[in-house]
A = this chain, B = another copy of it.
């Protein structure tokens, strides 16, 4: 897929792999370390001999910016090479609810046993909870029991018991914090939050890459890897479990805490990420009718998930709605409260799969649109993730281009928000017609490698580096992507018998959605043409929803109600789907209307 003479780093950036290249590809920062799995590449340069140990070189580690492929190659990109300069979305809506966590802590003062008082250690704990706190438990987690005797004796028979439903899930020193971890497990990125369960405060937030990305960028490619090799499924599960363990450790390091203090976790993710993490079967997710193995909420012991927090802790998994509308969507609905909106309300989480929810009249319906990776820079010739040097804003004024890059660095590619801007500006300036055809007589339009392209930064403007352009093929990719989203919205409106003008609020969640220029998105027809005041960009609402479910059992119950009550439309079953989709391929503003 890559041109001859391109380094692995350049190839990676072109393919949308968010490989870090802080120094701009000069072999100075060592941040683009990759491992060559198959295929032949150029010999290590002297810079690499210096940056990498002999052991690393033997293991196939190379600097992507110094390595030139001589054949098709398979690479593993270590997580640290991906996340370094990547913007990860860990902000989100603020929490403002009373804590009501699933786990409560109680202070116990016990009596040392004597020959005349022979209670078992476990029974002392259970009886003290009952007697002193009127809390009736019927079990103590086996891993807690395995340490109970030393714990009680070393703390002079005082302890803090963490109780979840009717089970003691942790014993710790008294007084100590009760910590929780909320995780938004995305296909590409993982956002984690450490929360004090007693006051609901977020103590630390942290983003990291999903290391499964080396097995495929999107859900379908990962699922098909697992379907053809259970060993790869096991490995992918292991990778993400390890990432969660590291995330927990990093969050705790920031808050001066121990991972054993985490007595509850909540994980939200799309249905595939949910299933892979839990080791659930995924083959049926990729085949019609795309059913999940499990829809409902799950409480699974952390040890059965494989993560290392408090020994007896549970991980709560929010419910999924369908094979392609997962718990992250439920969490987003929970956080944005669209289900409670009085008027008609639309909420979107734009990504490789875009989930859209239309709520109103006490009803709520969702669809999943296969919008593809274009808005994340994938399958776009010079597309890239939101890393340093990515063009994130673009304007075309009197045939002059103006752009902003992330960190103000020299441009190296275009990220999602920049791509939407480019498409909108080319459309507004009639460089593209409604069908997406590129005019051939604009000063910045040229042919290159037998394809028409619009030059954003020319070879001269980049001091001899290859030009950054948007090609006719890129435009076609983007038309497919925006049409998918637009179709989802249209199908929902038609099913509800409503018109787009009736939508009172549009909530845009997710990293990409937070950075796009809404006017541009309206201009290309991706978002409905409504006054800007009706839009809000809320950042990582799924992460916020996960935190809400972490600190509040009421919110957890609400998330189950959302999943239970949410209608779901499988786009493949909509009779006029192809007609709507074909119309939506046109660029520019449309009137979304109901039936």
Contact A120 B294, beta carbon cutoff 8 Å: yes
Contact of A291 with B by CB under 8 A? yes
Q: Which one, A146-154, A348-356, A499-507, A584-592, is touching chain B?
A: A146-154
Q: Which one, A7-15, A109-117, A244-252, A370-378, is touching chain B?
A: A109-117
Contact A115 B289, beta carbon cutoff 8 Å: yes
Contact B291 A113, beta carbon cutoff 8 Å: yes
Pick from B122, B289, B291, B294: contact of A293, CB under 8 Å: B122
Contact A296 B123, beta carbon cutoff 8 Å: yes
Contact of A47 with B by CB under 8 A? no
Residues of chain B contacted by A293 (CB below 8 angstroms): 120-122, 145, 148-149
Nearest CB to that of A279 among chain B residues? B146
Contact A291 B120, beta carbon cutoff 8 Å: yes
Contact B570 A289, beta carbon cutoff 8 Å: no
| Given A122-B294, A123-B295, A295-B123, A113-B281 contact (CB < 8 Å) | no
Contact of A284 with B by CB under 8 A? yes
Contact of A79 with B by CB under 8 A? no
Bound state CA distance, A147 and B293, in angstroms? 9
Contact B118 A568, beta carbon cutoff 8 Å: yes
- Give, as a whole number of angstroms, the nearest-CB distance from A571 to chain B: 10
- Give, as a whole number of angstroms, the nearest-CB distance from A78 to chain B: 28
Residues of chain B contacted by A294 (CB below 8 angstroms): 120-123, 140, 145, 148
Bound state CA distance, A287 and B149, in angstroms? 12
What's the tally of chain A residues with a CB closer than 8 Å to chain B? 50
Contact of A172 with B by CB under 8 A? no
Bound state CA distance, A291 and B116, in angstroms? 11
Residues of chain B contacted by A573 (CB below 8 angstroms): 115-116
Contact of A37 with B by CB under 8 A? no
Contact of A278 with B by CB under 8 A? yes
Bound state CA distance, A295 and B145, in angstroms? 11
Contact B284 A149, beta carbon cutoff 8 Å: yes
Bound state CA distance, A148 and B113, in angstroms? 47
Contact of A1 with B by CB under 8 A? no
Contact B149 A300, beta carbon cutoff 8 Å: no
Q: Which 7 A-B pairs have the closest CB atoms?
A: A120-B295, A149-B281, A122-B294, A120-B292, A115-B289, A113-B291, A115-B573
Apart from A123-B295, A139-B299, A153-B284, list 15 A-B contacts with CB within 8 A.
A113-B289, A114-B289, A117-B289, A118-B570, A121-B284, A121-B294, A122-B294, A123-B294, A142-B279, A145-B278, A146-B280, A146-B281, A148-B294, A149-B293, A150-B283
